[in-house]
């Protein structure tokens, strides 16, 4: 069958059903049947769901405040991974899809190198972006022959299974984890179960989910800055004179002294000294990620588990994570401290110039409060003030140290 013929066959199967005896090469069982089987197995697991009908179907099967619903494409497994890393004693399940995994397959690599046995990523593979309207262009890469199980294994995940019926799915769920994360690829039909809309918006869902984590884990997530009228404000953290310290040392100390306990980042020469100190600090969780969006997803999951996350990324990395911030952090109301190097600032190389010029405008357009930092002794108070603002407003805050501050000059 030609490529055009395969696309048309998939489209017609979505619109009108399969002719007798014919198959798309994908599953023949509805996703809803697998979710019903999963619902009978779960106990106290935290569950992060894909958007659209995956969320509504799961709500109809297992309504619970332990569910975070309708997370965007490319963000489901990163959110679940952040939760699992921050709560190593709690089992976490991601209900992802083929479209979402192809959006950010690099999360498999972070899973393989960082995650424990408490994370299970279930990828429902119906061969297309079916919930978007069943148009001819909905076929995903798996429909074209890309093997999600093989992709996960190439990235280093060793416990991977592909199933196409409920018995096989239950067997994969019941298999004892061997010390690392699991990926279960579930081949499903294109049929959806229409069970009504979610009865809450994303922010209410966030509050319910986070309160559940607070109560079940004994952690404090919400830290409103308000105090009793007339009461003396809490003392500031120790902010010693930075003296002759370099930027990396001061940034590292500022994060630690202000209670940041979870951070992500990509290699960035302006932040390399601070990143090295964080990596060497055995009391701090620093996760190296291959894509800024993946890292922001981990930060969101970590905050939902009661941690204080930060992302150390240059401004071009911030641009790469715009979707993740708007669709995730801003939609749910999840704070994350973003420390973003001001590439393209005065004195930088010319090929970064355009990015530097638009950085403040991009942050303003995203409604992300921010502060440009020009002096070394402003770093620690700026981190303190950003955290206070985020606790009250439940949105990200960006600190933008200038190029002249982050780069050593000869």
Helix, strand counts (H, E) of the chain: 18, 12
pLDDT confidence tier of residue 137, bands split at 50, 70 and 90: low
Domains of the chain: 3-213 (3.40.50.970), 247-406 (3.40.50.970)
* DSSP bridge pairs for 400: 372
Contact 261, 308 (CB under 8 A): yes
Q: What is the mean pLDDT of residues 9-14?
A: 48
Opening angle at CA 332, ends 328 and 335, nearest 5:
80
Indicate whether 6 pLDDT > 70: no
Indicate whether 78 pLDDT > 50: yes
- The backbone torsions φ and ψ at residue 95, rounded to the nearest 5 degrees and listed phi first, read -105, 90
| Residue 15 pLDDT | 42
Give residue-wise pLDDT tens across range 175-195.
988 889 999 999 998 888 889
Contact 245, 293 (CB under 8 A): no
Indicate whether 280 pLDDT > 70: yes
- What's the chain's average pLDDT? 89
pLDDT confidence tier of residue 135, bands split at 50, 70 and 90: low
Q: How far apart are CA 270 and CA 275, in angstroms?
A: 10
pTM of the model: 0.90
């Amino acid at each position: 069958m030609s490529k055009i013929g395969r696309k048309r066959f998939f489209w017609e199967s979505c619109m009108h059903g399969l002719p007798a005896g014919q198959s798309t090469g994908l599953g023949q069982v509805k996703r809803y049947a697998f979710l019903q089987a999963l619902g009978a197995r779960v106990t106290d697991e935290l569950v992060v769901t894909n958007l659209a009908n995956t969320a509504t179907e799961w709500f109809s099967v297992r309504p619970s405040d332990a569910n975070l619903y309708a997370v965007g494409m490319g963000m489901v497994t990163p959110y679940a991974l952040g939760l699992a890393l921050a709560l190593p004693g709690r089992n976490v399940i991601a209900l992802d899809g083929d479209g979402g995994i192809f959006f950010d397959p690099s999360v498999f690599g972070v899973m393989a190198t960082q995650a424990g046995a408490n994370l299970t990523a279930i990828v429902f593979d119906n061969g297309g972006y079916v919930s978007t309207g069943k148009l001819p262009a909905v076929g995903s890469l798996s429909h074209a022959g890309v093997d999600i199980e093989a992709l996960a294994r190439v990235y280093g995940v060793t416990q991977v299974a592909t199933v196409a019926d409920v018995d096989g799915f239950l067997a994969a769920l019941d298999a004892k984890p061997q010390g690392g994360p699991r990926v279960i690829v579930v081949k499903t039909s294109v049929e959806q179960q229409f069970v009504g809309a979610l009865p809450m918006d994303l922010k209410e869902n966030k509050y319910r989910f986070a309160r559940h984590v607070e109560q079940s884990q004994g952690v404090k997530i919400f830290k409103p800055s308000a105090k009793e009228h007339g009461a003396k404000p809490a003392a500031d953290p120790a902010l010693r004179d930075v003296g002759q310290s370099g930027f990396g040392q001061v940034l590292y100390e500022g994060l630690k002294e202000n209670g940041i306990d979870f951070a992500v980042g990509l290699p960035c020469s302006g932040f390399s000294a601070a990143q090295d100190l964080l990596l060497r600090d055995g009391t701090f969780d620093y996760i190296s990620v291959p894509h800024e969006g993946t890292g922001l997803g981990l930060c969101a999951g970590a905050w939902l588990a009661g941690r204080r996350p930060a992302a150390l990324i240059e401004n071009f990395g911030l641009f790469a994570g715009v979707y993740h911030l708007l669709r995730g952090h801003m939609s749910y109301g999840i704070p994350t401290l973003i420390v973003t190097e001001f590439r393209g600032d005065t004195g930088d190389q010319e090929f970064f110039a355009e990015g530097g010029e638009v950085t403040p405008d991009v942050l303003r357009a995203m409604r992300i409060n921010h502060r440009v930092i020009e002096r070394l002794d402003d770093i620690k108070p700026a981190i303190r003030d950003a955290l206070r603002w985020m606790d009250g407003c439940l949105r990200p805050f960006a600190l933008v140290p200038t190029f002249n501050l982050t780069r050593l000059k000869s």
